[in-house]
Structure 1
Amino acid sequence: MRLFVALSLPEEVREGLGMLGTGLPGARWVAEDNLHLTLRFVGDVDGAQARDLDDTLSAIDAPGFELTLQGLATFGDGMKLRSLYAGVAPNPALTHLQAKVESAVVRAGLPAERRKFKPHVTLARFKGDPGPKLGLYLKDHSLLRIGPFTADHFVLYSSRLGAEGPHYTEEVTYDLERVGAF
Structure 2
Amino acid sequence: MSRLFLGLDLPDEVDFDLSLMVGGIRGARWQDPEQLHLTLHFLGELGGGEARGLIAALGELEAPPFELQLGGAGVFPPRGQPRVAWIGVTRGLEPLELLHQRCARIIDACGIEREHRKWAPHVTVARMGHEASSHETHQWVRNHALYTSASFRVEHVRLYSSIRSRQGPKYRTEAVFALSSAGLGFT
Any unmatched runs of 5+ in structure 1?
A: none
Cα displacement string for residues 34-81 of structure 1 (whole angstroms, at most 9, x for unaligned residues): 100000000001000001110111110111000010100000257632
- Partner residue in 2 for 1:76: 77
- Partner residue in 2 for 1:94: 96
Paired residues for 1:17-32 under 5 Å: 17-32=18-33
Paired residues for 1:156-171 under 5 Å: 156-171=159-174
What amino acid is aligned across from residue 71 of structure 1 in structure 2?
G
Matched, 1:127 2:129: yes
- Partner residue in 2 for 1:44: 45
How much has 1:134 moved relative to structure 2? 2.1
CA distance in 2, matches of 1:100, 1:50: 17
Checking the alignment, whether the CA contact within 8 Å between 1:102 and 1:113 is kept in structure 2 is no
18-27 vs 131-140, greater mean Cα deviation: 131-140
Any unmatched runs of 5+ in structure 2?
A: none
SS of aligned partner of 1:145: coil
CA distance in 1, matches of 2:117, 2:151: 27
Cα displacement string for residues 114-166 of structure 1 (whole angstroms, at most 9, x for unaligned residues): 21111000000001241322232222111100021110111000111011110
What amino acid is aligned across from residue 164 of structure 1 in structure 2?
Q
- Partner residue in 2 for 1:118: 120
How much has 1:82 moved relative to structure 2? 1.1
CA distance in 1, matches of 2:37, 2:114: 21
Matched, 1:144 2:147: yes
Checking the alignment, whether the CA contact within 8 Å between 2:42 and 2:114 is kept in structure 1 is no
TM-score by length of 1: 0.93
- Partner residue in 1 for 2:6: 5
CA distance in 2, matches of 1:173, 1:112: 19
CA distance in 1, matches of 2:136, 2:81: 16
RMSD value over aligned CA atoms?
A: 1.6
TM-score by length of 2: 0.90
CA distance in 1, matches of 2:129, 2:33: 20
Count of equivalent residues: 179
What amino acid is aligned across from residue 107 of structure 1 in structure 2?
A
